[in-house]
Amino acid sequence: MFMEIKAIKGVRDILPEEIPIWQWLEKIVREVFETSGYSEIKIPIIEYTNVFSRSIGETTDIVEKEMYTFLDKSGRSITLRPEGTAPVVRAYVEHKLYSSYLTKLYYIGPMFRYERPQSGRYREFYQIGAEALGVDDPRIDAEIISMLNLLFERLGVAGLKLQINSLGCKECRKDYRDILIKFLSERLSLLCDDCNRRYQKNPLRTLDCKSEGCISATIDAPRMLDYLCKGCRDHFDAVKEYLNMLDIPFTINPRIVRGLDYYTKTAFEILNDKLGAQNAVAAGGRYDGLVEDFGGPPTPGIGFGIGVERLVSLLQKDSTNSHPPEVFIASIGDAAAKLSLPMICRLRYEGVRAELGYKGSLKSQMRKADKSGAKYTIIIGDEEIARKKAILRNMETKVQQEIALDDIIDIIKGLC
């Protein structure tokens, strides 16, 4: 009896037919990010759990419910990374990358969250993220959003909407928290169990809660934007001004609180209606206290994460560049079969994408050649070999010509 073995729920294979679009996407990402001065960093997939619990916040959904956490063989608590910002900041402090006034880093890779899987929401998903550490100038807030815009333009993705908010700083958020707690404490019977439990510790989460009761109970909730201190208000006004200067349309959404506690000041989300319920393609914001929380010097930071599966679902399928063979070799007979192997290997050494028909009649190998998308097919049979010849067929024009076996490599190199 064979056991039916399938991939884990919420985790999926990215099959070869999808890979060209992922590779093309990553190529454009690298081009756009590197033009903007970002360098790639590869961060580990596993970290000590406190890298996330302390920075993302003990009372967030991610930390309370969604992390893949286990004890390793020495009894240490380890977590599969649910996001990239905390590991980047951990690495930034550990390797003292702050020696330069501005450190710009990007990463591409899988993240893991134990969420309820649905369209556009997976338990393993890929993120492309960028983080700029060291500058609190509002120009960089607008600049990083403009880099995202440029990326989406290069990828040909339309219909995106930018929403922004300010979450204030530690100081002004303290006053706002007290006001919000008071507001919530008068509506506890309307709030869900989670929000009842955590509204004292983390009242902002209530504004992010998706339960109907919490949404309607908080419709008239006090807005952080009305309680910003002068510094945070000036910063937000400047970000808006710069976005206008850059012709980047946006709306202000005072309900954006983000699902992670490290944010300060600017928070933003980029949405696309075609995505249905999970409509955020990218999201990010400023986190001016996070480097200090990890034991580094006071260092402001801002960044974003893009959900790759969601982005891929918005891309035109014809924007791929698949890699069909340039030349296909159909061989008939033992001598020709033997010769065909060194021939494709030689062609590949010369940088030509070459494939073999392996088996079947000439007709069936020609069908394979056609299906592969090859531009040329070389047909060799024992009789041609005896005459030191081969047939070269142009698959588009269907014109065939006889060529000398010894010239095959040079001729193909010249054609491809």
Interface residue list for ligand HAM (CB under 6 A) = 83-85, 113, 115, 121-122, 125, 127, 129, 131, 259, 280-285, 303-305, 307, 309-310
Q: What is the spatial distance between Cα 313 and Cα 334, in angstroms, rounded to a whole number?
A: 47
Phi/psi at 264 (5° precision): -135, 155
Amino acid at 266: T
Nearer CB in complex with ligand HAM: 127/149: 127
Closest distance to ligand HAM from the beta carbon of 121 (Å): 4
| DSSP per residue, 267-330 | EEEEEEGGGTTS-EEEEEEE-TTHHHHTT--S--EEEEEEEHHHHHHHS-GGG------SEEEE
The residue number with the shortest CB distance to ligand HAM is: 307
Q: What is the spatial distance between Cα 286 and Cα 166, in angstroms, rounded to a whole number?
A: 9
Nearer CB in complex with ligand HAM: 12/346: 12
Strand partners, 132: 104, 302
Nearer CB in complex with ligand HAM: 203/303: 303
Nearer CB in complex with ligand HAM: 257/329: 257
Closest distance to ligand HAM from the beta carbon of 313 (Å): 10
Q: Which of 196, 194, 170, 168 is nearest to 60 (CA)?
A: 194
Residue 296 has which token pair? Answer: 């580094």
Measured in whole angstroms, the distance separating CA 303 from the mean position of its chain's CA atoms is 13
Closest distance to ligand HAM from the beta carbon of 152 (Å): 13
Closest distance to ligand HAM from the beta carbon of 184 (Å): 23
- The contacts of residue 283 (CB under 8 Å, 6+ apart) are 258, 268, 269, 270, 304, 305
Nearer CB in complex with ligand HAM: 73/210: 210
Nearer CB in complex with ligand HAM: 129/325: 129
Phi/psi at 126 (5° precision): -100, 145
Closest distance to ligand HAM from the beta carbon of 181 (Å): 25
Nearer CB in complex with ligand HAM: 163/365: 163
Closest distance to ligand HAM from the beta carbon of 356 (Å): 39
CB-CB contact of 67 with 113 (8 Å): yes
Measured in whole angstroms, the distance separating CA 282 from the mean position of its chain's CA atoms is 9
Closest distance to ligand HAM from the beta carbon of 9 (Å): 13
